[in-house]
Amino acid sequence: MAAGQWPARRPGGGLVRGIRAAARAPLTARARRELLFCAAAAPLGLCVLVVPVALTGLPLTVTLLAHGIHPAHHGPPAGLAIFLGLAVFLVLLALLVLAPRLARRLAAAQRRLAGHLLGEHIAGPAPVRAGRGPVSWTGATLRDGPGWRAAGYLLVQLPLAVIGCYVVVIWWAAGLVNMTYPLWWAWFRNHPAGVRLSPVPVLTPFGVLHVATIAGTFAAFAAGAAMVAAAPWLTRAVAAADLWLMRELLGPGRLARRVADLERARALAVDDAASTLRRLERDLHDGAQIRLATLAMNLGMAMDRLAAGKDQPGLAEVRDLVGAAHQSAKDAMTELRDLARGIHPPVLDTGLPDALATLAAASPVPVRLTTGIAHRPSQAIETIAYFCAAELLANAVKHSGASAITLTVTGQAESLLLRVTDDGRGGADPAAGSGLAGLAQRARTVDGRLEVTSPPGGPTRVTVELPLHA
């Protein structure tokens, strides 16, 4: 904004400011950081050159080696050639397989540099998910999209790294050296009169000048100053281009970013829904429920007084009316309690085991409950697990004809496992429009899953797996 207003008010002011800014540019902290970034990132980028060097150098070395061992022959014996060829092939194959992993390492170093020096924090991709064993490891590496993108970045960045090196060496370093020429001319060139000196080379981006006089050294100084003045803008351009490449190729892909955004939004929605229900239950508890309890208590006291009172005309009718009101208040309390418990059982706040114990005890079919929760899940997940357990127990009681139910809940480092087993008749089908389909859907809202094994004749086993956080 300010830059746009200045020239209009003070013609020429913008120009002066521009010149001043240009003169100051090489001295700013930003220029220093960008220079450091180029100086560090460019050599790192050149590491990629190891690959073509290895690709061409290795077979060459091997061939030379083979010839060296048997100088008398024109070629190596067939066995050795095959062995060496195989060795080369294997090394190259290993290099290819390792490429995404190595590229990830180098790219991570580049990202750290950008973060430390330029303040540009680029989120890294998710780590490679590999199972156990070399086959799974290799497969995961070869399918590692972010790893290959990092490799692509390193290839595309290679010319940029060359330009970066060029700017650092020619524009910055040579420029600074050139600016020192007048100084050391005076110190080292105190030769006797009449001695003819060979000219001193001055390195500039446009070729090598040769100066042989003190006036020439000032020309070299001027050239150096111009180079140093221009250098910050060049390093800035290189750094900006590199950052753009990094953002495009090293950060999580657009789809991955979108997925991450959606996951975050969904987790918020799930947690928010759970806390809304908790608040609702809490409001009921502190409001309507306590008022009803007080009402029922007061009516109870009124009944007491009426019972103690002397029989007067009409008193029996009052007694009946108060009695009816008293009963209604008690019934309403029971109904409201069941309703509130269905919204959010408050005992869940002290943990899933306490809540499930009451649930298990309330079941008409005996339930054997086992809980082992090392890592407590989020409240939203606990709520989902609780209502899944409630529904599964109710299903088992209603449909299976079971005489015993087992409810097991285990909390592992990454997931919560809930399993309900009954010894009933089996044959439960999640596809047959039962409550199981609804439960599966409920689990899916947080990336959980539901598994049913229920052969005809039983037993039925339903497993619900939920993440620890939505």
Partner 1 sequence: MAAAAPGLRVVIAEDAALFREGLARLIEGRGHQVACSVADGGALVAAVATHRPDVVVADVRMPPTHTDEGLRAAIELRRAHPTLGVLVLSQYIETRYAARLLEDNAAGIGYLLKDRVADVAEFAEALERVAAGGTALDPEVVSQLVRSSQQYAGLAELTPRERDVLALMAEGRSNAGIAAALVVSASVVEKHVASIFAKLRLPPSEADNRRVLAVLRYLQP
The distance of closest approach from Cβ of residue 461 to partner 1 in the complex, given in angstroms and rounded to an integer, is 21
Helix (H) or strand (E) segment spanning residue 203: strand 200-204
CB 161 within 8 A of CB 46: yes
Residue 299 engages partner 1 in binding (rule: CB under 8 A): yes
Q: Three-state SS for 291?
A: helix
Q: How far is CA 185 from the centre of its chain?
A: 58
Residue 423 engages partner 1 in binding (rule: CB under 8 A): no
Print the binding letters for residues 265-294 with partner 1: x by CB under 8 A, - otherwise. Answer: -----------------x--xx--xxx-xx
Print the binding letters for residues 226-265 with partner 1: x by CB under 8 A, - otherwise. Answer: ----------------------------------------
The distance of closest approach from Cβ of residue 349 to partner 1 in the complex, given in angstroms and rounded to an integer, is 5
Question: Cβ closer to partner 1: 186 or 361?
Answer: 361
Which one-letter amino acid corresponds to residue 200? V
Q: How far is CA 408 from the centre of its chain?
A: 32
Among 240, 324, 361, 394, binds partner 1 (CB under 8 A): 361
CB 264 within 8 A of CB 132: no
Question: Cβ closer to partner 1: 173 or 333?
Answer: 333
Question: Cβ closer to partner 1: 84 or 303?
Answer: 303
**Among the residue ranges 23-31, 59-67, 252-260, 298-306, the one whose residues contact partner 1 (CB under 8 A):** 298-306
* DSSP assignment string, 2-36: HHHHHHHHSTTHHHHHHHHHHHHGGGSHHHHHHHH
CB 248 within 8 A of CB 152: no
Q: Three-state SS for 412?
A: coil
Binding to partner 1 (CB under 8 A): which residues in 130-189?
A: none
Residue (of 294, 288, 236, 233) closest to 118 by Cα position? 236
Print the binding letters for residues 321-350 with partner 1: x by CB under 8 A, - otherwise. Answer: -----x--xx--xx--x--xx---xxx-xx
For 47, how many CA atoms within 13 A lie in the half-sphere containing its CB? Answer: 15
Question: Cβ closer to partner 1: 177 or 302?
Answer: 302
- What count of residues does the chain have? 470
CB 436 within 8 A of CB 428: yes
Among 56, 138, 298, 453, binds partner 1 (CB under 8 A): 298
Question: Cβ closer to partner 1: 117 or 329?
Answer: 329
Residue 362 engages partner 1 in binding (rule: CB under 8 A): yes
CB 446 within 8 A of CB 387: no
Residue ranges in contact with partner 1 by CB under 8 A: 282, 285-286, 289-291, 293-294, 296-301, 303-304, 326, 329-330, 333-334, 337, 340-341, 345-347, 349-350, 353-355, 357-358, 360-364, 366-368
